[in-house]
Structure 1
Amino acid sequence: MRATIHPGQILGVIEHCLEPTLFSPECFRFHSLDVFFETDMTKRCFEKTNPPQWLLDFWKEIDDKTWGKGFDCFADDAICNLGIADWHGRDAIRDNLRKFIDSGFTALHDVVEYWDAGQLKVFRGVVTMIPDDRTQSVVKPVMTHFFYMDEKDPAKVRHWYGSVGPVAFG
């Protein structure tokens, strides 16, 4: 299957069907996501530093399953593209993360490396995923996240791109 990616769009696999034919067009349904697509080629100077408190507070809300003020780091109309997610608005980001975490595990986030370039923040880390079902194994996938800060309020995240995993091979 061939797809063309146009500026302002990215194609993501939303659902893998149960058909046995690997890579057949029937096995994938694609969804066009509206995302920030930077077309200007610019230089950004990054500084490796300690993670800011807003980032630590955000992960703590998820780790503690409290879902409160740590999400205030997002603009009201922030967008999150975490894996295949396309969530619009701070409340949608919080609600969808809650549904995901409440699906059967506890997550503990560790920020390993943090880089600041003003409007763009980048970090990598590890998330320990502890299943509620203790017969399943704990996994520790790598995570990488890009946070584009709001131009009007640089203390708020406007767009979050993140990836975690894979969490298993099978």
Structure 2
Amino acid sequence: MTTMTFTRKDPPQWLLDFWKEIDDKTFGKGFDCFAHDAVCNLGVADWHGRDAIRENLRQFIDRGFTAHHDVVEYWDGGSLKVFHGKVRMTFDDPALPVVRPAMAHFFYMDEKDPAKVRRWLGSVGPIEF
């Protein structure tokens, strides 16, 4: 069994920069928070490598909506960071309503470089639009 203590904190700049890259659809330096060979399991996604994470998120976001991520809470456990938030999804099709699903994300930090994310596990609702 492993025991870990978490402290609720303000979200770190690397996390805010990462979400901003997605919200602004720029997909630039905010992705530098990931190790070069990071793994992302976002829903059913299984993406390997920082560049693959960046490109796959770009393709997903460019499918007809704009996102805006809001922090609800951020918990720091040292090698594991937990993020809970809401994402406002505004669709290009004005007939579709804006949705605000909840998100939960686990960021496992790299053992050799604790400033980098080694693995990202995330879940975002809704289950349908």
Q: TM-score range by the shorter chain?
A: over 0.9
Counterparts of 1:76-115 in structure 2, within 5 Å, are 76-115=36-75
How many Å apart are 1:104 and its aligned residue?
A: 0.4
Q: Verify: 1:71 aligned to 2:31, yes or no.
A: yes
Q: Distance in 2 between matches of 1:76 and 1:124?
A: 25
Q: Identify the residue that residue 29 of structure 1 maps to in structure 2.
A: none
Change (3 A) 1:134 1:167: farther
Q: Identify the residue that residue 48 of structure 1 maps to in structure 2.
A: 8
Q: Aligned partner of 1:137: which letter?
A: P
Q: Distance in 1 between matches of 2:83 and 2:14?
A: 13
How many Å apart are 1:111 and its aligned residue?
A: 1.1
Q: Which has the larger radius of gyration?
A: 1
Relative contact order, CA 8 A, sep 6+: which one is greater? Answer: 2
Q: Identify the residue that residue 57 of structure 1 maps to in structure 2.
A: 17
Q: Structure 1, residues 97-145: CA drift from partner, whole Å, max 9, x if none?
A: 0000001000000011000000000010000000011111110000000
Q: Structure 1, residues 43-72: CA drift from partner, whole Å, max 9, x if none?
A: 000000000000000000000000100000
Q: Identify the residue that residue 134 of structure 1 maps to in structure 2.
A: 94
Pairs aligned (count): 129
TM-score normalized with structure 2 length = 0.98
Q: Verify: 1:123 aligned to 2:91, yes or no.
A: no
Q: Is the 8 A contact 1:141 1:167 kept in 2?
A: no
Q: Unpaired segments of 5 or more residues in structure 2?
A: none
How many Å apart are 1:168 and its aligned residue?
A: 3.3
TM-score normalized with structure 1 length = 0.75
Q: Identify the residue that residue 155 of structure 1 maps to in structure 2.
A: 115
Q: Aligned partner of 2:25: which letter?
A: K
Q: Aligned partner of 1:146: which letter?
A: F
Q: Unpaired segments of 5 or more residues in structure 1?
A: 1-40
Q: Aligned partner of 1:91: which letter?
A: D
Q: Distance in 2 between matches of 1:138 and 1:160?
A: 26
Q: Identify the residue that residue 25 of structure 1 maps to in structure 2.
A: none
Q: Is the 8 A contact 1:139 1:167 kept in 2?
A: no
Q: Aligned partner of 2:45: which letter?
A: A
Q: Aligned partner of 1:92: which letter?
A: A
Q: Identify the residue that residue 4 of structure 1 maps to in structure 2.
A: none
Moved over 2 A (4+): none
Question: Cα RMSD over matched residues?
Answer: 0.9
